[in-house]
A and B are shown apart, each in its own frame.
Chain A
Amino acid sequence: MNSQKKVKKIYEFIRDNLYFNRPDIEIKGERFNSTMLLAIITGLNRGKALIIGEPGLGKTTSAEYACSLLYQYPLGIIWSSEVSGHPEQTEEKIVGRPDLGKLNRGIEEVVWSNFSQLPVKIVDEINRLPETKQSMILDGIDRGNWEYLNRIIINEEYCLFATANYQDKGTNTIIAPLVDRFDVVVESKHPGPSLSFMISDNNKENMLRNPLYEKKLEKVLKTKMPYEEKLPQIEEICDQLGDHFKKELGVEALGHQERRRIESEIHKLEFDMDAGAFTIMLIAELSFCYKYGQKRSDEGCDEGCHYTGYLCHDVKNCASNRLPSSIKKYSQAIAWLLGNSNIDIEIVRAIIPYTIAHRIQWKEDFISKREKNRRADSLQIYLAKEAVDEVFHRYGEQKENIKHAFSVGFRILNGEDLEPIEGDHPVYAEIKNDLNYLGDV
């Protein structure tokens, strides 16, 4: 069985036995549940996903199931590594603590937490962490480095899931730099009454639990040996559990080598021309300001600006450089899963709303015009989908001219004596800016 089929089988196994929910996204004729699909993509491709939703609708469990099968960890170990968001959370519980026995003897050693050691990282209810403590996990999330007492462990392979409830008395705002580090946001929705009722019949969690392997793994994780030496032992136990899953559940989990091979296959996939042009067009709308050079959170739009019809007029902040990375990372993985030889515009269009929904701060006017519309998604995801549809519509009207403008831009920078292509969209102005600034390429 090839790896795509294996991953699809994992998706189907979870869909049929563990996480019951309705499909709510269709890509190239295949229908998926967005939460489960993005959880699997996040696990496969070292992603960072923020899962939002009402309490009890499977935000955490969707991530747990996906990671258990993608990484061959029993649920009990995943639970033991989870960080729960509450105001009293400390660095010692999240990252590691001093080895008190050795400290009494004057030796500084760190006992690393399961959270920092496991490739699967789940932060439950991240918005219950006070804002100051959220920044504590920023570095770890960004680079896979966990530091304590001048000691460091480096996760070569990791993915992050954080869940967040909607705002209530106990929640805080997730700080902007942390929000931007999440590649995608997705809502774990109510499955509907019939599927919800089925959930009560199912003793499903036991499927992915195994006390024997949980004990074995816990023992290795607690061993006071260098982290690098633990990894092969952990891998060996995980492979044994993978065999157990295959034998008992009929589903093949992914081993370390296979995950690495999949990752390298995923990274080979490139945007086709339309997907690339559309993505650049969208980024232009989310970062462009004719008057002030770029969007800035503390600067507004002037009355009567020529570009009022574009998203730059509807957003407060500027798209970060992490946005294109997130779009590419998730589009590549979807394209790989669907067996595509490259990333086409349909994939990009389906993925982008989940990559911008949490990053974009919309102006009140944009929100108020749409918030009462009939919709199936949470407001932020709905607004992102609306915005992407708008840009997609514009791209459909101008795509030939835009691609032509890019190709002429390429030729000008290569020394040909041509005039940049004119057009009514921020992207044309940005091409001219590139030509002005990069003229000596």
Chain B
Amino acid sequence: MKNPFERFKSYSSRRKEIPLDSIIKSKDMVIDKLVAGYEKVVEEEVKSLVWVVERGRLMEAYSEAEEAIADIDYKAEDIEELCYELDGNERLPYLITGPAGIYISALCNHAGENEITLKLGELRRKMHMIGYRLPSKKRLIIEGDMGNFVGSHLDGGELILEGSARDWAGAGMRKGKITIKKYAGYHTAEWMIDGEIRVDGRIRGIGKVVNGKIFEMGKPVYPSSNHLSSGNDSFR
């Protein structure tokens, strides 16, 4: 029988590249580099099999993240895309939401832009540690609900969470401002040194606060004469 594709035998697949192709290609390259950096960080972190949040460990993971991203030229929009890549890509073996959050935080903290908006409402998993060590003059706006340790060790930046945070929001924050538009969980502001946390909804429990200001539904709850026993992880 005659080959039905005969008329295409002389076709050589020199694919014409349109500008969009090169944009997509360069974007894919950036995301690939960011994913590779994350995998490098995670490889170090999974050696102990259980990832434990402790100050020394956080510092170490954060330094590794900073090192991994040092040579990557990325934009704020790439960070959002990476979040979805980490969340949705089944081939990534180590999506551990803690180190992922540290890695994302490092990217935000070192991004060229001073104001970053991440629309993360569609993530299937809740990311922890988002906003870790957010420095002064940086404004990070997150859309969607987040996991534990949102804005922990905040370092002068402004974090706005258009959603709810789980436990330990603002833990160990030094200065800056955290606004949570919905609810916050237990141990909120644990070891908070200074700064301000505003939660528009309810706070399930405030942790041991050293200093700073905390507002719940527009009303100051710390420092306040009638706030429920800070330091006892009060149930509210």
Given A400-B16, A410-B6, residue A273 in contact with residue B11 (CB < 8 A): yes
- A-B contact list, 19 entries, CB within 8 Å: A271-B7, A273-B8, A401-B15, A403-B8, A404-B15, A407-B5, A407-B9, A407-B13, A409-B4, A409-B5, A409-B8, A411-B9, A413-B3, A413-B5, A431-B5, A434-B4, A434-B5, A438-B3, A441-B3
Contact, CB under 8 Å: A441 / B1: yes
A271, B6: Cα distance in complex, Å: 12
Contact, CB under 8 Å: B13 / A273: no
Contact, CB under 8 Å: A414 / B16: no
Measured CB to CB, the nearest residue on chain B to A409 is B5
A413, B2: Cα distance in complex, Å: 10
- The smallest beta-carbon distance between A60 and chain B, in angstroms, is 39
Measured CB to CB, the nearest residue on chain A to B11 is A407
Residue in B3, B10, B15 with the greatest tally of chain A CB atoms within 10 Å: B3
For A403, list chain B residues within 8 Å (CB): 8, 11, 13
Contact, CB under 8 Å: A410 / B1: no
- The smallest beta-carbon distance between B211 and chain A, in angstroms, is 58
List the 8 shortest-distance A-B pairs measured between CB atoms, nearest first: A410-B5, A406-B8, A407-B11, A404-B13, A409-B5, A407-B8, A406-B5, A410-B9
Contact, CB under 8 Å: B8 / A410: yes
Chain B window 1-29, contacts with chain A (Cβ cutoff 8 Å), 1 for yes, 0 for no: 11111111111110110000000000000
Contact, CB under 8 Å: B16 / A410: no
Q: Does A276 contact B (CB under 8 A)?
A: yes
Measured CB to CB, the nearest residue on chain B to A270 is B7
Measured CB to CB, the nearest residue on chain B to A403 is B11
- The smallest beta-carbon distance between B25 and chain A, in angstroms, is 15
Contact, CB under 8 Å: B7 / A276: yes
Q: Which residues of B does A touch, CB under 8 Å?
A: 1-13, 15-16
Known: A400-B16, A434-B4, A438-B3. 18 other contacts (CB 8 A): A271-B7, A273-B7, A273-B10, A277-B8, A406-B5, A406-B8, A406-B11, A407-B9, A407-B12, A409-B5, A409-B8, A410-B5, A410-B6, A410-B9, A411-B9, A414-B3, A434-B5, A438-B4
A277, B8: Cα distance in complex, Å: 9
Q: Which residues of A does B touch, CB under 8 Å?
A: 270-271, 273, 276-277, 400-401, 403-404, 406-407, 409-411, 413-414, 431, 434, 438, 441
- The smallest beta-carbon distance between B128 and chain A, in angstroms, is 37
Residue in A277, A409, A410, A438 with the greatest tally of chain B CB atoms within 10 Å: A410
Contact, CB under 8 Å: A404 / B7: no
For A277, list chain B residues within 8 Å (CB): 8
Contact, CB under 8 Å: B11 / A404: yes
Interface of B is mostly: loop
Inter-chain residue pair count (beta carbon < 8 A)? 52
- The smallest beta-carbon distance between A252 and chain B, in angstroms, is 36
Measured CB to CB, the nearest residue on chain B to A406 is B8
Residue in B2, B5, B9 with the greatest tally of chain A CB atoms within 10 Å: B5
- The smallest beta-carbon distance between B70 and chain A, in angstroms, is 38
Measured CB to CB, the nearest residue on chain A to B7 is A276
Measured CB to CB, the nearest residue on chain B to A413 is B3
Contact, CB under 8 Å: B15 / A400: yes
- The smallest beta-carbon distance between B191 and chain A, in angstroms, is 53
For A413, list chain B residues within 8 Å (CB): 3-5
For A271, list chain B residues within 8 Å (CB): 7
- The smallest beta-carbon distance between A207 and chain B, in angstroms, is 45
A188, B10: Cα distance in complex, Å: 42
- The smallest beta-carbon distance between B21 and chain A, in angstroms, is 11
For B13, list chain A residues within 8 Å (CB): 400, 403-404, 407
A321, B12: Cα distance in complex, Å: 29
For A410, list chain B residues within 8 Å (CB): 3, 5-6, 8-9
A406, B6: Cα distance in complex, Å: 9
A407, B6: Cα distance in complex, Å: 8
- The smallest beta-carbon distance between B120 and chain A, in angstroms, is 28
Measured CB to CB, the nearest residue on chain A to B5 is A410
Measured CB to CB, the nearest residue on chain A to B4 is A434
A187, B234: Cα distance in complex, Å: 82
For B15, list chain A residues within 8 Å (CB): 400-401, 404
Contact, CB under 8 Å: A438 / B6: no
- The smallest beta-carbon distance between A273 and chain B, in angstroms, is 6
- The smallest beta-carbon distance between A416 and chain B, in angstroms, is 11
For B7, list chain A residues within 8 Å (CB): 270-271, 273, 276, 406
For A411, list chain B residues within 8 Å (CB): 9
A133, B103: Cα distance in complex, Å: 80
For B2, list chain A residues within 8 Å (CB): 441
For A400, list chain B residues within 8 Å (CB): 13, 15-16
A441, B3: Cα distance in complex, Å: 7
For B8, list chain A residues within 8 Å (CB): 273, 276-277, 403, 406-407, 409-410
- The smallest beta-carbon distance between B20 and chain A, in angstroms, is 11
- The smallest beta-carbon distance between A160 and chain B, in angstroms, is 30
A441, B5: Cα distance in complex, Å: 11
A410, B9: Cα distance in complex, Å: 6
For B6, list chain A residues within 8 Å (CB): 410
A434, B15: Cα distance in complex, Å: 24
- The smallest beta-carbon distance between A415 and chain B, in angstroms, is 11
For B5, list chain A residues within 8 Å (CB): 406-407, 409-410, 413, 431, 434
A273, B13: Cα distance in complex, Å: 13
For B3, list chain A residues within 8 Å (CB): 410, 413-414, 438, 441
Contact, CB under 8 Å: A438 / B11: no
A72, B136: Cα distance in complex, Å: 91
For B12, list chain A residues within 8 Å (CB): 407
Measured CB to CB, the nearest residue on chain B to A438 is B1
- The smallest beta-carbon distance between B92 and chain A, in angstroms, is 23
A440, B51: Cα distance in complex, Å: 58
Measured CB to CB, the nearest residue on chain A to B8 is A406
For B1, list chain A residues within 8 Å (CB): 438, 441
Measured CB to CB, the nearest residue on chain A to B12 is A407
- The smallest beta-carbon distance between A351 and chain B, in angstroms, is 18
For B16, list chain A residues within 8 Å (CB): 400
A401, B16: Cα distance in complex, Å: 10
For A404, list chain B residues within 8 Å (CB): 11, 13, 15
Measured CB to CB, the nearest residue on chain B to A276 is B7
For A273, list chain B residues within 8 Å (CB): 7-8, 10-11
